[in-house]
Amino acid sequence: MSNQTTLTEFLLLGFSDVRELQILHFVVFLVIYLTAVMGNLLILTAVALDRQLHTPMYFFLGNLSFLDLCYISVTVPKAMANSLTNNQLISFSGCVAQVFLVITFVITEMTLLVVMAYDRYVAICHPLHYRVIMNTGTCAQMAAGSWICSVIYAAFHTGNTFRLSFCQSNAIDQFFCDIPQLLKISCTDTHPNEILNFLCVIFMCFSCFGLVTVSYTRIFATVLRMPSAQGRYRAFSTCLPHVTVVCLFLSTGTFTYMKPSSGTPMYYDLLAAVLYTVLPPTVNPFIYSLRNREIKAALRKIGDMIYS
């Protein structure tokens, strides 16, 4: 029996081995990746260069854009390279790195979504105290805490996964290294890992969803009491997209990590993985920022500076 000390590579079999379909996968992922990179870079540039956007809300949006750039760059470029070269291999160390980074960015995204919901709660429900509560130090601590906790969480789960032995197969039915798929090919008893993953996902997802729900319940209660119809519309227009993204992100991530490691059709796993690893970094810039007046104004200023 060979174990993780002798295994040197894995096969990523998430997409078809038909050459024409591989080229199609490459083109689709290339368009998605370029869209995500351009959208998030525009947000980062606008937030960094326009002093009027140096506020807590845009500070967290900038963090989210940076996170999404890192998040989509962990999985999509490797998947594109595999499809283009017809080489489905990934090294053992590369697989470890993917697992660690994906978990880090998933948990950071979850916690940032909670922080952004809290920021909107303070801004709408306690506007007079907003600058005092969401001061520069508090915002920096919240952002740093999200990243630090996520790194610790990812290190624990990555180590717990790769202590297993892989002697049945090195073929992963996914376009990147993912814990549920790695558990399928392990020849070690994976029930403790599955139970631990289940409990951790239950805690993380329901904690985040609960905190977001509490924040937006109070936000909507405050908004409904606003006398101005325009004020209510503006508040709802900034909150509803956030709620939509949170629900989509948490539901697909929960489906992936809470289901049994066997018995689910491969295309379900593939679709869920795309929805929680590829879709959020691509659509977040449009949902949160590019439809925002201040962001558009900042981008126009930058464009005028470039062409003047």
* 119 contacts 112 by C-beta, under 8 angstroms: no
Percent share of the chain, pLDDT over 90? 29
Rounded Cα–Cα distance for residues 271 and 307 (Å): 42
> Is residue 4 predicted with pLDDT exceeding 50?
no
Domains assigned to the chain: 9-307 (1.20.1070.10)
| pLDDT score at 20 | 85
Among all chains, which residue has been given the structure tokens 């919901």?
A: 117
* 29 contacts 81 by C-beta, under 8 angstroms: no
* End-to-end CA, the chain: 67
* 259 contacts 180 by C-beta, under 8 angstroms: yes
Residue 2 has which token pair?
């060979």
Considering only residues 35 and 269, tell me which one the structure prediction assigns the higher pLDDT. 35
Residues ≥6 apart with Cβ < 8 Å to 6: none
Residue 150 has which token pair?
């996520």
pLDDT band at 203 (very low <50, low <70, confident <90, very high): confident
Sign of the dihedral defined by the CA atoms of residues 165, 273, 241, 224, in that order: negative
Other Cβ atoms less than 10 A from the Cβ of 174: the count is 23
| pLDDT score at 258 | 61
| pLDDT score at 5 | 45
| pLDDT score at 95 | 93
Q: Where are the alpha helices (DSSP H) in 50-135?
A: 56-85, 92-125, 130-133
Closest by CA to 39, choosing from 84, 71, 78, is 71
| pLDDT score at 289 | 67
pLDDT band at 69 (very low <50, low <70, confident <90, very high): very high
> Is residue 1 predicted with pLDDT exceeding 70?
no
pTM score: 0.86
Considering only residues 270 and 112, tell me which one the structure prediction assigns the higher pLDDT. 112
Q: Where are the alpha helices (DSSP H) in 170-292?
A: 179-184, 191-224, 229-258, 266-277, 279-284
Residue 21 has which token pair?
């379909």
List pLDDT tens digits, range 207-233: 888 888 888 888 888 877 877 777 677
Could you write out the DSSP letters of every residue in 168-202?
Answer: S--EESSSS--HHHHHHT-SS--HHHHHHHHHHHH
List pLDDT tens digits, range 129-138: 999 999 999 9
